[in-house]
Chain A
Amino acid sequence: MNRSRRIALVAAVVATAALTVSGCSSSGTTSGSGGSASGGLTKVTLQLQWVAQAQFAGYYAAVDQGFYKKAGLDVTIKEAGTDTVPIQSVVKGQADYAISWVPKVLSSIEQGVNVTDVAQIFERSGTTQISMKDKGITSAADLEGKKVGSWGYGNQWELFAGMQKAGINTDSQISLVQQAFDMKGFLAGDIDAAQAMTYNEYAQVLETVNPATGKLYQPSELNVLNWNDEGTAMLQDAIWADAGRLQSDTAYQDTTTKFVKASIEGWVYARDNPQKAADIVTAAGSTLGTSHQLWMTNEVNKLIWPSTDGIGVIRAGQWKQTVSIAEKTKDNTGATIVTKAPPKSAYDNTYVKKALAQLKKEGVDTTGASFTPLTVELKEGGK
């Protein structure tokens, strides 16, 4: 009796200890990988916000073409799963930099996360609201009374801001439909105007056969509401760094400039060699169809190029617009993204400006003023 009781006690103690240790190791380890040199190269981990696809072509190209290596960096790209919050990877020390949309990070910042936008890669927003021509939706005001699709999860803000700017009461004057991550609901008519990224879902529709014509859907059969034109665009893909480390760690500051510079070189490569960049992403494990991948590369290029102030520069006006929408726009739950403006440390042009100056000296075109997009022909199913 006594013996078994004693052993049970020991077992309980061991179990508690195990729990405590595993609990500690989660909070105690903050060893970021940046700064640890191996073979002369600084190890850097980049956390994406989704799986490998041409949306991140520049980073994959920079790895493939050796731009990071040339800068002294050994970069590992981490794909995201459905449960990954990219900015959390940076905060927890699992990654040195993360790619994320500005509004999503603004809400994390308000909750106490200390990160900085060090390069605003996408100057324009890729979010649109698409509809069939016969619905006659050519401006945000036309959404009144329509079945409006929204993904939610932080993807809805430009849509709500656009409708509210057009004077629509988003609680009573539209019927909001929760949209899945494919376009079946839109094609079946459950949704009049569906959310679509120019580089992904819009293409998915154009890769589908229209039963009425027997041919693929054509751009001429669709209306596209572009939030850049409606004036409610928010900043999207940016490179985020750990603000605490930027403040105190000079090696990390140096790495940040190098990382931004080499990433920009990757994006310049994707601009000048879209087909090769698309192939690099496919080789990196993306299973998207070949024509879809090229379409995405081309559309992403359009979001970056031509770049007004040089790729990566955070433009004060656009930042202000993003923050203002984040403060004032209420979605269907009545919430706003933030209640007050973020601290000054939320963005910093120091590193990108250094990188651009170096690139200019090397003769790299960082504005792409003469950029002309391709005309990509999509195949059925994006094959």
Chain B
Amino acid sequence: MTARSLTRVRALLLGLGGIVLVGVAWDLYASFGPDAGVQLGGVLVLPRASATAMPSVGSMFGRLLDPVASGPGSPLLLTAVIQASLVTLGVAALGWVVGIVVGLALALLMQRFRTAESALLPWVILSQTVPLIALAPLVAGLISTARVGGQAPPLWVSVAIIASYLSFFPVSVGALRGLESPERAHVDLLRAYAVGWWPTIVRLRFPASVPYLLSSLRLAAANSVVGAVVAEVAIGMDGGIGRMMLSYAQSSSGDPAKAFGPIFGAIAVGLVSAGVVALLGAALGRYRRAEATA
């Protein structure tokens, strides 16, 4: 085993160890902590450790292997969670891709024209100050009155648009920084050779922007997952992980472990999307001297 792969194994073990440690800490507090929590001056400072408030880690995973409900044909909770996760992952991925396209287009526009940067950048930043709960019904309302071939578009279109609204921002800002990151001397050299704008972008600015882009893409992926989950809840889309959280929360006193199923699903969706960006990073490895922090 080379030294490099050893470090990798070590990192993996440490990562797993960290997760186990959180689980053990949870279970220890759940079994030995006070059921009523700890109150200081009427304010709860330590959480309640009752089985309703903190089901054991074992029961959360065990619940995944039980059917969702008792009726005939009811799927395992795990199956239901995986199905819902795939729905949310699909919508979030769509939002992510749309966000990347829009973000890159804005970055190119702002890089090309200084005036466009002055005119657009404040709007780009302002756009992110609109709270999601104000935006979601607005987008849903606009989309549901639109007609494509006489039909209203399905709800997931609104969810994907909201996800893309959250994901275009880091891409546009990160890509703009990346496109403007080449050294002056390199830009001047290409200009001396009379290289046009687009070839300069392709040969110099894009490669230079990769380290910036990768961290923006990761942020964008996380944003679009959050956006998709929240938008599902806000506008009432059926089938995804956000909706599942909402409906399972109803049984959270009688069947507390069930509510954690969709939370695990959301974590899995987040991990998959981070993994996709990591793969992308590996593919773009030759442009990636060091990843810039966004």
Give chain A residues whose Cβ lies under 8 Å from the Cβ of B114: 4
Contacts of A78 in B (CB 8 A): 236
| Distance in angstroms between the alpha carbons of A288 and B258 in the assembled complex | 11
Query: Which of B67, B236, B244 has most A Cβ within 10 Å?
Result: B236
Considering the chains assembled together, what is the distance between the CA atoms of A343 and B70 in angstroms? 48
Q: Which of A15, A83, A207, A379 is the most central at the interface, judged by chain B CB atoms within 10 Å of its CB?
A: A83
Most buried by B among A8, A204, A207: A8
B113 touches A11 (CB 8 A): yes
| A31:B254 contact, CB within 8 angstroms | no
Instruction: Say yes or no: B53 contacts A285, CB within 8 Å.
Output: no
Q: Which residues of B contact A282 (CB under 8 A)?
A: 69, 71
Is the pair B233, A81 in contact by a Cβ cutoff of 8 Å? yes
Q: Do residues B68 and A182 form an inter-chain contact, with CB atoms below 8 A?
A: no
**Chain A hits for B253, CB < 8 A:** 182-184, 187, 204-205, 207-208
Q: Please tell me if the beta carbons of B239 and A285 are within 8 angstroms of each other in the complex.
A: yes
Q: B9-17, B137-145, B173-181, B273-281: which one contacts chain A? A: B137-145
**B70 lies within 8 A of A379 (CB):** yes
Q: How far is the CB of A19 from chain B (nearest CB, A)?
A: 10
By CB atoms of chain B within 10 A, which of A4, A208, A211, A279 has the most?
A208
Nearest Cβ on chain B to A238's Cβ, whole angstroms: 20
Q: In angstroms, how far is the closest chain B Cβ from the Cβ of A224?
A: 17
Task: Assess whether B249 is in contact with A181, with CB atoms less than 8 Å apart.
Answer: yes
B147 on the A face (CB < 8 A): yes
Mostly, the A contact residues are loop
- Shortest Cβ distance from residue B205 to the other chain A in the assembled complex, whole angstroms: 17
Fill in one digit per residue for A21-56: 1 if any B CB lies within 8 Å of its CB, else 0.
010011001010100100000000000000110000
Could you tell me the distance in whole angstroms from the C-beta of A97 to the nearest C-beta in chain B? 15
Residues on A with C-beta less than 8 A from B292 are none
Return chain B residues, CB-CB under 8 Å to A279: 71
Check if A330 is an interface residue, CB within 8 A of chain B.
no
- List of A residues within 8 angstroms of B51 by Cβ: 211
- Known contacts A26-B145, A187-B253, A381-B251: A8-B234 contact under CB 8 Å: no
> B249 to A83, Cβ gap below 8 A?
no
A6 to B20, CA, bound (A): 60
B121 to chain A, nearest CB (A): 13
B145 touches A84 (CB 8 A): no
Please tell me if the beta carbons of A204 and B254 are within 8 angstroms of each other in the complex: yes
Name A80's closest neighbour in chain B (CB-CB): B236
Instruction: Render A79-100 as a binary contact track against B, CB cut-off 8 A, 1 for contact.
Output: 1111111000000111000000
Q: For the complex, give the distance between the alpha carbons of A36 and B151 in Å.
A: 11
B250 within 8 A of A: yes
| Cα distance, A205 to B252, chains bound together (Å) | 10
Interface status of A7 (Cβ within 8 A of chain B): yes
A83 in complex: contacting residue of B113, B142, B235, CB < 8 Å = B235
Q: Are B69 and A383 in contact (CB under 8 A)?
A: yes
Q: Is A291 an interface residue (CB 8 A)?
A: yes
Judged by a CB distance under 8 angstroms, whether B128 is at the interface is no
For the complex, what is the distance from the CA of A260 to the CA of B243, rounded to whole Å?
29
Query: Do the beta carbons of B70 and A383 come within 8 Å of each other?
Result: yes
Chain B residues, Cβ within 8 Å of A293: 69
Closest B residue by C-beta to A206 = B254
B250 and A82 form a contact (CB under 8 A):
no
Q: Mark A2-24, 1 if CB is under 8 A from B, else 0.
A: 00110110011001000000100
Does B291 touch A at the CB level, under 8 Å? no
Nearest-Cβ distance from residue B148 to partner chain A, whole angstroms: 13
| Highest count of chain B CB atoms <10 Å: which of A78, A80, A182 | A182
- What separation, in Å, do the CA atoms of A229 and B238 have in the docked complex? 37
Q: Which residue of A lies closest to B249 (CB)?
A: A182
Interface residue B57 (Cβ < 8 Å from any Cβ of A): no
* Chain A residue with the shortest CB-CB distance to B80: A287
Instruction: Assess the B246–A4 pair: CB atoms within 8 A.
Output: no
Residues in B whose Cβ lies below 8 Å from that of A290: 69-71, 74
Q: Is A289 at the interface (CB under 8 A from chain B)?
A: yes
Instruction: Establish whether residues A291 and B70, one from each chain, have CB atoms under 8 Å apart when the complex forms.
Output: yes
Contacts of B112 in A (CB 8 A): 4
Centre residue among B71, B238, B244, B254 by max chain A CB count within 10 A: B254
**B31 contacts chain A at the CB level, 8 A cutoff:** no
How far, in angstroms, from A12 to B116 measured CA to CA in the complex?
Answer: 8
- Is A188 among interface residues, defined by CB-CB distance under 8 A? yes
The 0/1 profile, CB within 8 Å of A marked 1, for residues 65-87 of chain B is 00111110010000010000000
Whether A380 and B254, one on each chain, are in contact in the complex, defined by CB atoms closer than 8 angstroms, is: yes
CB neighbours of A33 from chain B (8 A): 152
- Is residue B36 within 8 Å, beta carbon to beta carbon, of the partner chain? yes
CB <8 Å contact, B146 and A81? no
> In the assembly, what is the distance between CA of A208 and CA of B252, in Å?
9
A84 touches B254 (CB 8 A): no
B251 and A382 within 8 A (CB)? yes
Contact B254 A188 (CB under 8 A): no
Cα A26 to Cα B139 in complex, Å, equals: 10
Contact across chains for A207 and B251 when beta carbons are under 8 A apart: yes
Is A257's CB within 8 Å of the partner chain B?
A: no
Is A8 touching B250 in the complex (CB atoms < 8 A)? no
Residues on the B chain within 8 Å of A7, using CB:
113, 116
A353 close to chain B: CB less than 8 A: no
Bound CA span A375–B72, Å: 20
Nearest CB in chain B: distance from A336 CB, A: 26
Per CB-CB distance, the 4 closest pairs between chain A and chain B, nearest first, are: A381-B255, A81-B236, A207-B254, A8-B115
Q: Can you list 13 residue pairs at the A/B interface with Cβ under 8 Å?
A: A4-B114, A15-B120, A26-B142, A29-B145, A83-B235, A182-B252, A188-B36, A287-B69, A288-B247, A293-B69, A380-B254, A383-B69, A383-B70
Known: A187-B52, A287-B248, A383-B67. 13 other contacts (CB 8 A): A31-B147, A80-B236, A81-B233, A83-B235, A184-B53, A204-B253, A205-B253, A207-B253, A289-B69, A289-B255, A381-B258, A382-B254, A383-B70
